[in-house]
Chain A
């Protein structure tokens, strides 16, 4: 045995001696030796070695009567047909002869191989056998020929359509054999996508009939193909759509998850046409098969969860069985847990709130840091969604304060800010803990939230001045976010309390912000406050700074237009990432216009890679290591302004960007509320 370490170098060096040995074997007079030599040649080829110099010798074996050998030679030829068409065309006469062979396997192989030869010259030889093969009486040959039409189309679209190959292909859609039907459909779909304006595959109602019959007869790939063809059908006729959806429903019972999701897609595309009643029926049928995917591999689960998330945004009441199915198992991977949490939060309502809350409470005591943080955030979101639960929710938070583990306390603090804005009265419950908790807060987000709470509720909090004083005295070490929050908090304190202590504090912070700090934002804001608070208009200032705030709502929805697009892209990667496909994979990658875009992307990917290396660990979407978080993906679409992306889509895309990273919303919320304070909104 050669040690594995040396293997890769061994593989590359394909020795001369070996070549001559194979050569000898290939022309041997014994059939056994020839088969063996061909096998070894193929073995070398499949590991990536270049054995094209053996071509003439291998070719000599094609004329054999032995089917096993013949198949092996064809295997060799198919592989080199794409890269060495000039060599392959030498054997074209044998191919044509073989396409008349009695054995259908050989006929099919000849057709398939000819299709793989990528020089236009081949068309002259291919045309006649292919035409015959499309009408062959053996389905295996017809099925292969159907795929071959695409190959010909790629070589010469003009020739292919004007010589009736496409119409022959269209005829195959009504073939009695389901495998032939699916291959014909697949080929037509691809040809159609190359030149959509010619309308080679405009699905019409009469055609769907045959497709639906074939649907229940063919294998899973066939089903997926036919289902995705059916989801291309755009009809406005309710009757037609109803007919199709009803026929598609049995596919939910298929063992293959891909088939199930493809069926879901067909229904989602037509669902907006139907009456309320039929729609609910469809959703009812659709929900259980989606949920069964949740007991499959984590990868499948993730895809299912992301798609469920989309459907829920469109139709929140699909899963009447409640949230229990989405509860996390402790051995679920983190990315699954976080997705489930999102869905539990989306589903939270009066009916299921008790079980949801007790479950979330269990999660809060788990070990995984990221999961606990998200759980606390979900608890806050649930409290905003279902007001009746607010007291229990705060009770859970107070428990966390009791245990006093810093990362949890910090997260609670951030959530508290939003909750208190909605339910200001609840601040009373918090009072006993504030002083103790302040020591635990290291995270700037939490400290900023603390500052906001102290300023906003300085009336209720007895020692707010003292606590703020503590924070202000170390202001030079704080993050900007905290500094800004502290400034606003002190202003509020001063406007509400109007006593000597608070005034001293205000002076202190003003002098820091205007004289010491190098940050323009802080400085400008301090000046603005200063002007606002001249002694005569203090009341006006109060009414501006301490005004009523609009209520906050829990909203995790995607923009409507993006959602609609994604729903029609169901089951694809776009629906998993919740991004438009253009944002992660270039369209028409082989066209010239894509070239420029690719170059820019290439640059960005490098950048992104560096970034990922740094941010690694925090990357939650581990499974789909795409890292959309950065500007990396946004820049290429923006800078090249590719015509394929409409302005509208770009806007959408940008807006997703800004709301995508999970830790941003609280921050954004904070600065927003601060600005609102300032502007008296």
Chain B
């Protein structure tokens, strides 16, 4: 784990919004070097690499919204560590100020600088838990409130000893509430005949906690709930879970957080509710056939078909379609988008048919390179799907109940919400 020599926040024009150096080993002109590297990449019309190489250091950089976050290091290091640090810095600035836009950062530099020095001391990542940071440096809105109510200078709250590291010490609510939402995201590739090629199901157990004091919660899962390859939030007692896999004990952080997530092989779960057949036919014709085979409606279906050339005709039985031509050379190319707001489970199959144009630049490519003339009828290869299938579950994971161990009288549990999202599902044309 190596030292983070500095942190730069740079806007897309290359001017520095904020810079903090941790050890004074890196000269301030580094920002100039980064700027020139980035403008070089811009000239070549490509996104700068995650790691920019300088002769005596490496610069990790990433663009988020319109701000580029750069961290130079001087020796070999774990790239994921830097990656995580960046992600967390972005996240924390977002929780404090609502967004990571350059305009927001420009306005709040002194507070962000305070936050960064609190998070990173002498190049070490020390504390990036949003809850505890808020104990040391109050969020702007809270600070304002203090001023207004007391009419005095707000005093920085003193930090408590031996509190739970991820929990704020001053949570206080009149209504104690705890929500659980289970989101199942599908990542899969299907063959054109609706056979699953491979896929995973990623399940996130999202919680929202608004509870006073330091509650100890115990979440019971229904028997048969399996969590494969589970990953837990810091707060979960993993040892206990190993002994009793149907109980999760934890002291929650405040606000929204992901309590646990796990992944399962999609082929072992309940099948997806959407049946898709995608076929290439002769002479550049193709057909996409979609049917809801579930028991509930499917919402916001979006089908994207990358096209090798232009289309000569398209027709659908339902929904809207739009053809987006490619804008530049580096673009992913032309795309056909087909959107349907809702498919009831009783509906018949929805069909999209179309014909591809044979390549126009045929004559040119014919002369320059003899190889392409046989590709007279271009074929489609993939389509991607994105849709929501609310109020259902595909996995065998179910929450039974939630108990507050140290305050059994409290009735805070507000129930569980489920939803399935087809996050990254693609179908290969037959």
Residue from the set A7, A256, A365, A594 with the largest chain B CB neighbour count within 10 Å: A256
Is B200 a contact of A295 with CB atoms below 8 Å? yes
- CB within 8 A of B84: which of A48, A258, A330? A258
Shortest distance between the CB of A490 and any CB in chain B (Å): 27
Q: Could you tell me which residues of chain B, from 373 to 430, have a CB within 8 Å of some CB in chain A?
A: 374-375, 379, 381-382, 384, 424, 426, 428
B residues touching A (Cβ–Cβ < 8 Å)?
1, 11, 13-21, 23-25, 28, 31, 44, 46, 48-53, 55-58, 74-81, 83-84, 109-110, 112-114, 117, 121-122, 124-129, 136, 153-156, 158-159, 161-162, 165-166, 187, 189, 197-198, 200, 202, 228-234, 238-239, 241-242, 258, 261, 263, 265, 308, 369-372, 374-375, 379, 381-382, 384, 424, 426, 428
Task: Give the chain B neighbours of A217 by CB distance below 8 A.
Answer: 165
Is B155 a contact of A219 with CB atoms below 8 Å? no
Task: Give the chain B neighbours of A139 by CB distance below 8 A.
Answer: 161-162
> Which A residue's beta carbon lies closest to that of B103?
A1
Complex CA gap A324/B156 in Å reads 54
Shortest distance between the CB of A295 and any CB in chain B (Å): 6
Complex CA gap A250/B242 in Å reads 9
Is A440 a contact of B80 with CB atoms below 8 Å? no
Is A220 a contact of B153 with CB atoms below 8 Å? no
Task: Give the chain A neighbours of B238 by CB distance below 8 A.
Answer: 216, 250, 253
List 4 tightest A-B contacts by C-beta distance, closest first.
A406-B371, A82-B24, A625-B49, A581-B76
Is A261 a contact of B78 with CB atoms below 8 Å? yes
Q: Does chain B have a CB within 8 A of A313?
A: no
Q: Does chain B have a CB within 8 A of A641?
A: no
Task: Give the chain A neighbours of B79 by CB distance below 8 A.
Answer: 299, 303, 572-573, 576
Task: Give the chain A neighbours of B18 by CB distance below 8 A.
Answer: 46-47
Is A262 a contact of B78 with CB atoms below 8 Å? yes
Complex CA gap A253/B44 in Å reads 42
Is A573 a contact of B154 with CB atoms below 8 Å? no
Is A43 a contact of B122 with CB atoms below 8 Å? no
Is A7 a contact of B13 with CB atoms below 8 Å? yes
Task: Give the chain A neighbours of B127 by CB distance below 8 A.
Answer: 179, 219, 221
Known pairs A47-B19, A623-B49; list 16 more (Cβ under 8 Å): A8-B14, A46-B110, A47-B17, A82-B21, A83-B24, A220-B234, A224-B81, A258-B80, A292-B229, A327-B197, A405-B371, A406-B371, A406-B372, A407-B371, A572-B77, A584-B76
> Which B residue's beta carbon lies closest to that of A250?
B238
Is B242 a contact of A48 with CB atoms below 8 Å? no
Is A440 a contact of B234 with CB atoms below 8 Å? no
Shortest distance between the CB of A14 and any CB in chain B (Å): 14
Q: Does chain B have a CB within 8 A of A648?
A: no
Shortest distance between the CB of A339 and any CB in chain B (Å): 14
Is A327 a contact of B189 with CB atoms below 8 Å? yes
> Which A residue's beta carbon lies closest to that of B138?
A68
Pairs A–B under 8 Å by Cβ, sample size 15: A4-B15, A8-B14, A11-B16, A66-B155, A68-B154, A147-B126, A219-B166, A260-B231, A292-B229, A365-B381, A367-B381, A406-B369, A605-B53, A616-B44, A623-B49
Q: Does chain B have a CB within 8 A of A435?
A: no
Is B158 a contact of A103 with CB atoms below 8 Å? yes
> Which A residue's beta carbon lies closest to that of B236?
A253
Task: Give the chain B neighbours of A258 by CB distance below 8 A.
Answer: 78, 80-81, 83-84
Complex CA gap A83/B6 in Å reads 14
Complex CA gap A571/B17 in Å reads 32
> Which B residue's beta carbon lies closest to that of A103?
B158
Q: Does chain B have a CB within 8 A of A430?
A: no
Is A624 a contact of B49 with CB atoms below 8 Å? yes
Q: Does chain B have a CB within 8 A of A178?
A: yes
- CB within 8 A of B187: which of A7, A11, A295? A295
> Which B residue's beta carbon lies closest to that of A49?
B16
Task: Give the chain B neighbours of A75 by CB distance below 8 A.
Answer: 110, 113-114, 117
Complex CA gap A598/B50 in Å reads 23
Contact residue range for chain A? Answer: 35 or more
Shortest distance between the CB of B239 and any CB in chain A (Å): 7
Q: Does chain B have a CB within 8 A of A225?
A: yes
A residues touching B (Cβ–Cβ < 8 Å)?
4-5, 7-8, 11, 31, 38-39, 42-43, 46-48, 66-68, 71-72, 75, 78-79, 82-83, 103-105, 112, 115, 118, 137-140, 143-144, 147, 150-151, 177-179, 183, 186, 216-221, 224-225, 228, 250, 253-258, 260-262, 288-289, 291-292, 295, 297, 299-300, 303, 321, 324-325, 327, 329-331, 359, 362, 365-367, 403-407, 409, 439-440, 569, 571-574, 576, 581, 584-587, 589-590, 594, 598, 601-602, 605, 613, 616, 622-626
- CB within 8 A of B109: which of A43, A143, A297, A626? A43
Is B15 a contact of A8 with CB atoms below 8 Å? yes
> Which B residue's beta carbon lies closest to that of A11?
B15
Task: Give the chain B neighbours of A228 by CB distance below 8 A.
Answer: 1
Is B81 a contact of A140 with CB atoms below 8 Å? no
Is B109 a contact of A138 with CB atoms below 8 Å? no
Shortest distance between the CB of B263 and any CB in chain A (Å): 5
Complex CA gap A7/B16 in Å reads 10
Shortest distance between the CB of A633 and any CB in chain B (Å): 10
Task: Give the chain B neighbours of A626 by CB distance below 8 A.
Answer: 51, 53
In the complex with contacts A300-B80, A572-B77, A140-B53 CB distance below 8 A: no
- CB within 8 A of B198: which of A221, A324, A366, A624? A324
Residue from the set A83, A218, A325, A589 with the largest chain B CB neighbour count within 10 Å: A589
Is B20 a contact of A46 with CB atoms below 8 Å? yes
Complex CA gap A625/B166 in Å reads 37
Is B159 a contact of A66 with CB atoms below 8 Å? no
In the complex with contacts A46-B18, A216-B238, A327-B198, A289-B156 CB distance below 8 A: no
Task: Give the chain B neighbours of A257 by CB distance below 8 A.
Answer: 80, 83-84
> Which A residue's beta carbon lies closest to that of B3?
A190
Is A47 a contact of B16 with CB atoms below 8 Å? yes
Complex CA gap A284/B424 in Å reads 28
Is A46 a contact of B109 with CB atoms below 8 Å? yes
Is B232 a contact of A255 with CB atoms below 8 Å? yes
Shortest distance between the CB of B406 and any CB in chain A (Å): 19
Complex CA gap A406/B375 in Å reads 11
Is B1 a contact of A295 with CB atoms below 8 Å? no
Is A143 a contact of B126 with CB atoms below 8 Å? yes
Is A105 a contact of B158 with CB atoms below 8 Å? yes
In the complex with contacts A224-B1, A256-B84, A292-B78 CB distance below 8 A: no
Task: Give the chain A neighbours of B197 by CB distance below 8 A.
Answer: 327, 359
Is A254 a contact of B156 with CB atoms below 8 Å? no
Complex CA gap A679/B365 in Å reads 45
- CB within 8 A of A404: which of B24, B109, B258, B374? B374
Task: Give the chain A neighbours of B166 by CB distance below 8 A.
Answer: 219
> Which B residue's beta carbon lies closest to that of A69?
B153
Task: Give the chain A neighbours of B50 by CB distance below 8 A.
Answer: 299, 623-624
Complex CA gap A150/B58 in Å reads 23
Is A325 a contact of B198 with CB atoms below 8 Å? yes
> Which B residue's beta carbon lies closest to that of A327?
B198
Is B56 a contact of A586 with CB atoms below 8 Å? yes
Complex CA gap A103/B158 in Å reads 7
Complex CA gap A478/B48 in Å reads 38
Complex CA gap A108/B84 in Å reads 26
Is A329 a contact of B426 with CB atoms below 8 Å? yes
Complex CA gap A439/B373 in Å reads 14
Shortest distance between the CB of B364 and any CB in chain A (Å): 16
> Which A residue's beta carbon lies closest to that of B163?
A139
In the complex with contacts A228-B1, A255-B258, A405-B372, A362-B110 CB distance below 8 A: no
- CB within 8 A of A572: which of B78, B382, B426? B78
Is B189 a contact of A329 with CB atoms below 8 Å? yes
Task: Give the chain B neighbours of A140 by CB distance below 8 A.
Answer: 159
Complex CA gap A69/B304 in Å reads 55
Is A253 a contact of B230 with CB atoms below 8 Å? yes
> Which A residue's beta carbon lies closest to that of B129?
A219
Complex CA gap A553/B153 in Å reads 76
Complex CA gap A404/B374 in Å reads 8
Complex CA gap A262/B207 in Å reads 27
Is B110 a contact of A42 with CB atoms below 8 Å? yes
Complex CA gap A216/B424 in Å reads 34
Shortest distance between the CB of B424 and any CB in chain A (Å): 7
